[in-house]
Amino acid sequence: MATARSVPGIVALGLVIVVGTVVLVRAQHTGDHPRAPAPGPAAAGTPTAGPRRVSEGELHRYGTPRGWKFSVPAGDAAKGRELFRELECYKCHEIKTEKFPAPSDGKYGGPDLTGMGRVHPSEYIAESIMSPNAVIVDEPGTTGPDGLSLMPSYADSLSLAQWTDLVAFLKSLTEGGEHPMGHGVERVTTAGQYRIRLVYAQGHGGHMAHQGAPAAGHLMAFITERESGEAVPYLPVRATVQAAGIARRTITLRPMIGDDGLHYGADVTLPRRTTKLTLVVGPTTARVSAAAKGRFSKPTTAVFDWSAEAK
């Protein structure tokens, strides 16, 4: 999203946020301190985690809680859909899974938003709406003569609540559209102190393709620390593949760095009848400091159900 390529034709919220800040400051001076409401029911695609409690020492040491990132407050996807319609964003952006009117000339000026919620995190969608020029996708027809995004600004007409509702609606768009990078299957789980995202890209065309062999798929395990979200290197990783009518096969996943970032991977073609993948992450081979004693020192097993996904 984030540009004329992938942003709905709607918004930057600079003025709204400034106005909200002025109201807050005024309340503080009058002694009326507004209290943030407790997290309510989350809309589709919105994080559901409650408040996180940290010590003052942690904040002074790291500047933020470890693993902190900005999270978009929960919005109302139904209200966001109605706002999308009221702003007539459908005149620039097609959503194949929705029944919005088509442009009179049949041409959409902006990108197709079908399935975008499966591709982009809420924070990226929020930035794209709030600041269309934060990221410019360099494609023909997406920018004006000044080189900036063609997406108009609605800074004077959207409230903060409307902004979060709009994010919730766009994040709820998970059906249809092209699967990014040609990924055939993707699974995410947490195990031990890790968050593991396992991705199988079909016909990736890895090392085997360079040897004249048919392009294999590519199995990727993105392993990050559960708390901080930081990638963890120097881990021995093995994947055992179970498929109906076929003997189990164990594959060693090796550290790789590419456009996808650091991951543990292997060029392999998974059988179409694969039912389960079991990932075993061994203790790190890196030296662990005294402050992190005990972390990354135990083997961890994660089991991924593969049967529900069409191959």
Final residue in a domain of this structure, among 171, 200, 230: 171
Are 43 and 100 contained in the same domain?
yes
Are 88 and 154 contained in the same domain?
yes
Q: Is the pLDDT of residue 155 over 80?
A: no
38 pLDDT band, cuts 50/70/90, is: very low
How many contiguous H segments (helices) and E segments (strands) does the chain have? 6, 8
Alpha helices in 131-243 (DSSP H): 160-171
Check if the beta carbon of residue 199 is closer than 8 Å to that of residue 182.
no
Separation between Cα atoms, residue 267 and residue 201, nearest integer Å = 10
What confidence score (pLDDT) does residue 23 get? Answer: 33
What confidence score (pLDDT) does residue 184 get? Answer: 59
Are 51 and 166 contained in the same domain?
yes
Final residue in a domain of this structure, among 171, 193, 227: 171
Q: Which helix (H) or strand (E) holds 257?
A: strand 246-258
Q: CATH number of the domain that 200 lies in?
A: 2.60.40.2480
The dihedral through the CA atoms of 191, 194, 195, 199 has a sign that is negative
What confidence score (pLDDT) does residue 216 get? Answer: 74
Is residue 195, in this structure, part of any structural domain at all?
yes
User: How far out from the chain centre does Cα 26 lie?
Assistant: 36
- Token pair for 132: 């269309």
Q: Is the pLDDT of residue 6 over 80?
A: no
- Token pair for 56: 């003052």
Q: For residue 87, which amino acid is it? A: L
Are 165 and 195 contained in the same domain?
no
What average pLDDT is seen over the chain? 78
User: How many domains does the chain fold into?
Assistant: 2
Check if the beta carbon of residue 151 is closer than 8 Å to that of residue 145.
no
What confidence score (pLDDT) does residue 205 get? Answer: 47
Q: Which has more confidence, 282 or 308?
A: 282
Are 78 and 202 contained in the same domain?
no
Separation between Cα atoms, residue 268 and residue 275, nearest integer Å = 16
Residues 6+ apart with CB under 8 A from 168: 43, 44, 45, 46, 74, 75, 76, 77, 80, 122
Are 260 and 164 contained in the same domain?
no
Which structural domain range is residue 297 located in?
180-305
Q: Is the pLDDT of residue 281 over 80?
A: yes
What confidence score (pLDDT) does residue 163 get? Answer: 93
Separation between Cα atoms, residue 143 and residue 138, nearest integer Å = 8
Are 45 and 156 contained in the same domain?
yes
Percent of the chain with pLDDT over 70: 76
Q: What is the mean pLDDT of residues 54-64?
A: 85
Check if the beta carbon of residue 167 is closer than 8 Å to that of residue 117.
no
Is residue 272, in this structure, part of any structural domain at all?
yes
Q: What is the mean pLDDT of residues 227-248?
A: 91
What confidence score (pLDDT) does residue 204 get? Answer: 47
| Count of C-beta atoms within a 10 Å radius of residue 140 | 5
Q: What is the mean pLDDT of residues 166-185?
A: 74
Q: What is the mean pLDDT of residues 269-293?
A: 89
Are 185 and 283 contained in the same domain?
yes
122-130 and 160-171 helices, crossing angle to 10°: 130
Q: CATH number of the domain that 45 lies in?
A: 1.10.760.10
What confidence score (pLDDT) does residue 172 get? Answer: 93
The dihedral through the CA atoms of 262, 265, 269, 271 has a sign that is negative
Instruction: Give the pLDDT confidence of 193-231 residue by residue, as tens digits.
Output: 999 999 998 764 444 344 444 457 899 999 999 878 889
